[in-house]
Chain A
Amino acid sequence: GQQVMQIPQYQHVQEGEDFTTYCNSSTTLSNIQWYKQRPGGHPVFLIQLVKSGEVKKQKRLTFQFGEAKKNSSLHITATQTTDVGTYFCALPNAGGTSYGKLTFGQGTILTVHP
Chain B
Amino acid sequence: DAGVTQSPTHLIKTRGQHVTLRCSPISGHKSVSWYQQVLGQGPQFIFQYYEKEERGRGNFPDRFSARQFPNYSSELNVNALLLGDSALYLCASSYGPTGELFFGEGSRLTVL
A and B assemble together: yes
On A, residues with C-beta under 8 Å from B are: 6, 33, 35, 41-45, 48, 88, 90, 92-93, 97-107
On B, residues with C-beta under 8 Å from A are: 31, 33, 35, 41-45, 48, 50, 55-58, 90, 94, 97-106
Q: How far is the CA of A53 from the CA of B78 in the complex (A)?
A: 42
B3 to chain A, nearest CB (A): 10
A93 touches B56 (CB 8 A): yes
A101 to chain B, nearest CB (A): 5
A102 to chain B, nearest CB (A): 7
| Sampled A-B contacts (15; CB under 8 Å) | A41-B105, A48-B99, A90-B42, A93-B56, A98-B55, A98-B58, A99-B48, A99-B56, A100-B31, A100-B94, A101-B45, A101-B48, A101-B58, A102-B43, A104-B44
**Candidates A88, A97, A99; contact of B42 at CB < 8 Å:** A88
B55 to chain A, nearest CB (A): 6
For B55, what are the chain A residues with a Cβ–Cβ distance below 8 Å?
A: 97-100
A45 touches B102 (CB 8 A): yes
A12 to chain B, nearest CB (A): 16
For B90, what are the chain A residues with a Cβ–Cβ distance below 8 Å?
A: 42-43
Q: How far is the CA of A31 from the CA of B90 in the complex (A)?
A: 22
**Candidates A90, A100, A107; contact of B48 at CB < 8 Å:** A100
